[in-house]
Each structure stands twice: as C-alpha cells, then as structure tokens.
Amino acid sequence: MSTMTDHRTHTTGALVVDNVSKSFRGDGGLGEPVPALGNVSLQVDHGEFVSLIGPSGCGKSTLINIAAGLVGDYDGAVRIHGDRVTTPHPGIGMVFQEESTFPWLTTQQNVEFGLRMSGVSAKERRDQARDMIELVGLGNAAERYPAKLSGGMRQRVALARALVMEPEILLMDEPFAALDEQTRMVLGEELLRIQSKLQQTVVFVTHNLGEAVQLSDRVVAMTARPATIKAIVEVDLPRPRDSSIVSSPRYGELVAELWSLLRDEAIAALGERERG
C-alpha cells in the first residue's frame, strides 16, 4: 500500500523540466513564430502523480510531447535520468490526446505492439496483453478492430497499450476525456492502483478539475498561451484514495481553489480566440 509519504521518499526528480520554451511557426513555417510554451520549469519526483491543467490551447500537449521525445527542437531541457530528451526515452509510456490506436490491428494486437517491438515472446506478450485488456474492461472486445469500437473503448485500448509496457514514467494527455463519468472513476482508481504498485511517475493532463484532485499529489495550473506555471497546488488528501474521496470537504475546497486559479486564464484564452 502506498501513502503520501511513500511517494515522497525518493526525491531524485524522475522528470525534470528546466526552463522549457517552444514556439511554432504558423503558415507552413513562413509566418511569425507563435509561442506555445514560455519558460516552464517543473520537477516531478519518482513515483509522483502530477496533473497539468490549463485553458485549451495553452500548450499542455506541447509540453507532454516534448517530454515524450517527439519534439526534438525546443529550448531549455527536459531531463530523464539527467539526459536531455530529444528522442523517446525507453522508460516512458504515453497515452495521446487524439485517437492513436492502429486500425489494422485488433485490440489484442494493439496492446501487444510495444511488447512485440521489444522482442517479447509470442506467448508471454499474449498473456500480458490479455491481462491488461481485462483490466481496462475490454475482455470481450479483444479480437475486434478499432473501427468496431466506441471512442471510449479505443481510448482504453491506447491506455492498455501504454500500461502493458510498465513504463517508469507515464505521460497521459487527457486519457479519459472520451469516457463517461462512471468509467472515468473506475479507470482512475485502477490507474492509481497500478501506479502505486509499480511506483510509476505520472504526468497527467486533464480538463477535469475533480479528476486532477482525485488522482494527483500535485496539480500544476498553467496560464493561457504561451503557457507558464501559474501555481502548483499540493493535494493533501490521504492515500490510498478511491472515488468516495469526492464527498470529502477537502476535495471540494481543492477543486474550488483550482477553479479560482483557472477562471481568469480561461476567460483570457476565450477572449484571445474571439479576437482571432
């Protein structure tokens, strides 16, 4: 069983974000550079669960993609085990914001993909994938192709595909956004259970403030674009947690605190969009 103190025993910084900035050039590389991230610094400890919240379009996915090693060209440094990340580190797993399952593979084959790439034997990867598929509740959809699954089911395939690799660092970009509230709650609990068992470090992007509080050790609130860190809120709720936590008064206070932090940023982001 994992508790708050367990999470804080190793404070070596599994993932270090050091003054990271990123600009995109619009219009196929010809336009003015548009800043998406502005000087973000953050240290995520080993075994810690950190959520990122912030207005839409502020740069959360950009930060996650840089950490995943999918964006080679950025300023500053994201470090894993001291190395600056420019290509995917073998210890990371990722769940993408958009639909990323392979449509030519069944659920089972999708979940086996990473194991197969690392040369795990056919029998072993079948069993491991099978267990993970059961865990995310897709037991009776194992032989189906993504086209025959709902959006939420596909997202669970992507989740299982990442979890089965037992990554040391798990980057999750709104993994539960396409799910209904009940499934979200159940999978959230399951994620916490796996995460504490494997002592995984998780960076989790969400728009759901309640979800952020329920799952996280710390919640990072970001400003409108270019994203910088506005505030970091410590979630001092006891672990292990389950979904009954939502009825505790402290939970309500924390959600309210996050909302007051984000409110102005959300309005700012909306205003910017209206101006074009």
Partner 1 sequence: MTVPAAALDPGTRSNRPARAPSLSRVRLAGVLGVLVLWEAAATLFARLATADFFPHLWTLAAAYGEVFSSRFATDVALTGYELFWGLLFGIGSGLLLGLALGLNHFAREIVEPLLVYLGTVPKIVLYPVLLLFLTVGVESKIAMAALSTFFPVVLHTITAATEVRPLWLSAARVLRASALQRLRYVYLPAMAPSVYSGIRLGIAAGIIGTLMAETKAAQGGVGYRVIYYYSQYDIPEMYAVLILVFVFSIALASVLGWIGRRLRLSDSDPAEEGALL
Ligand X SMILES: Nc1ncnc2c1ncn2[C@@H]1O[C@H](COP(=O)(O)OP(=O)(O)OP(=O)(O)O)[C@@H](O)[C@H]1O
Binding site for Mg ion (CB under 5 A): 61, 97
Dihedral (CA of 191, 194, 199, 201) sign? negative
Q: How many residues make contact with partner 1 (CB under 8 A)? A: 28
Indicate the residue among 120 and 198 with the shorter CB distance to partner 1.
Answer: 120
Q: Which is nearer to ligand X, 35 or 152 (CB)?
A: 35
CB of 22 to ligand X, least distance (A): 8
Using CB under 8 A as the binding rule, whether residue 100 contacts partner 1 is answered as yes
Binding mask 134-173 for partner 1 (x = CB under 8 A): ----------x---x---------x--xx--x--------
- For residue 138, how far is the Cα from the chain centroid? 21
**Min. distance of Cβ 171 from partner 1 in angstroms?**
8
Please, which residue, 129 or 219, has the CB nearer to ligand X?
Answer: 219
| Tokens (6 digits) for 32 | 């003015």
Question: Residue 30 binds which one of ligand X, partner 1, Mg ion, none, with CB within 5 to 8 A depending on kind?
Answer: none
Name the closest residue to Mg ion (Cβ). 61
| DSSP track, 62-111 | HHHHHHTT-----EEEEEETTEEPSS--TTEEEE-SS----TTS-HHHHH
Q: Which is nearer to Mg ion, 164 or 170 (CB)?
A: 170
Residues that bind ligand X (CB under 6 A): 24, 36, 54, 56-62, 97, 225
Find the part of the chain contacting partner 1 (CB under 8 A) among 21-29, 111-119, 126-134, 214-222. 111-119
Amino acid at 155: Q
Secondary-structure percent of the chain, ordered helix, strand, coil, rounded to 5: 40, 20, 35
DSSP string for residues in 207-267: S-HHHHHHH-SEEEEEPSSSB-EEEEEE----SS--GGGGGSHHHHHHHHHHHHHHHHHHH
